[in-house]
Structure 1
Amino acid sequence: MDWDTIELNWERYRKLAQDKWHKIPDVVLEDIAGKRERLVAAVERAYDLSLEQAERDVNRWSEEARRVGDALAERFARSRSQAAAEFRSAAGATSARVAEGRRRLADLRDQAGARGELAIDRTREQVRAHPAATIALAVGIGMLLGQLLTRRK
């Protein structure tokens, strides 16, 4: 495994090292900071191994850590992909609802416009059919408004 990766991501790999070599104190693992030589020396001291044995152990661990890291990265990618798919699905459903709401609003606007035009047409027909009654009604409304406005003064 590329030790630069371990060194740069030591906080993540430190947990894996801690699981593997539980006899190494946390303070020592923290001080290792991803340095291979320091890890080999710590394993050698904590487990009373020869330098060669400690190096083999660290090499095996690095391969295992790479596989674990790859598995975690793959799991993260799958989770991210699944979340993106769910987000797209929710966005699609929301978009469909918004489009339906717009269509419904346009239909209601058209219906209201048609009803308003119908009411205006009927009023015009009534005014043409009964001009005298329309004039009398207008005069009556004018007198009523005049009375209401003069009372306030």
Structure 2
Amino acid sequence: MNWDTIQGNWKQLTGRAKQQWGKLTDDDLQVVEGHRDMLSGKIQERYGIAKDEADKQVSAWEKSSDDTWLDAGTRTRRD
């Protein structure tokens, strides 16, 4: 899934983001509004990790979202 898709469906994906990063608050996720760099920054802040590590985690989350997000009506698969 590309980041434009994530950003466009941010409200639906905030639950998955909270599952991945439980220390992020609802307010954090609302402020992020699907902006990748802001998400990475909030992860850095809440978990006390380096920017590189936060970026790696966001990239892994983005890739894992490919097959497991939203409902079958909005999911696209790359077979």
**If the TM-score is normalised by the length of the shorter chain, which range does it land in?**
0.7 to 0.9
Higher RCO (CA < 8 A, seq sep 6+): 2
1:129 alignment counterpart:
none
Query: SS of the counterpart of 1:66?
Result: coil
- Match status 1:15 vs 2:20: no
Structure 2 regions of 5+ residues with no counterpart? 75-79
* Cα shift at 1:56: 0.3
Query: SS of the counterpart of 2:23?
Result: coil
Give the alignment's Cα RMSD to 1 decimal.
1.6
**Distance (whole Å) between structure 2 residues aligned to residue 30 and residue 65 of structure 1:** 19
Q: Which runs of structure 2 are paired with 1:53-64 in the superposition (5 Å)?
A: 53-64=53-64
2:77 alignment counterpart:
none
Name the structure where helix makes up a greater proportion of residues: 1
Give deviations 1:17-58, integer Å, cap 9, x for gaps.
Answer: 011111011101111110000000011111111000000000
Q: Is the 8 A contact 1:13 1:65 kept in 2?
A: no
Corresponding pairs, count: 74
Structure label with greater radius of gyration: 1
**Distance (whole Å) between structure 2 residues aligned to residue 68 and residue 33 of structure 1:** 20
1:48 alignment counterpart:
48
Structure 1 regions of 5+ residues with no counterpart? 78-153
2:35 alignment counterpart:
35
The TM-score with structure 2 as length reference comes to 0.85
Overall identity of the aligned pairs, in %: 27
Q: Which runs of 4+ in 1 moved over 2 A?
A: none
1:66 alignment counterpart:
66
Q: Which runs of structure 2 are paired with 1:85-104 in the superposition (5 Å)?
A: none
**Distance (whole Å) between structure 2 residues aligned to residue 32 and residue 24 of structure 1:** 10
The TM-score with structure 1 as length reference comes to 0.45
* Cα shift at 1:4: 0.7
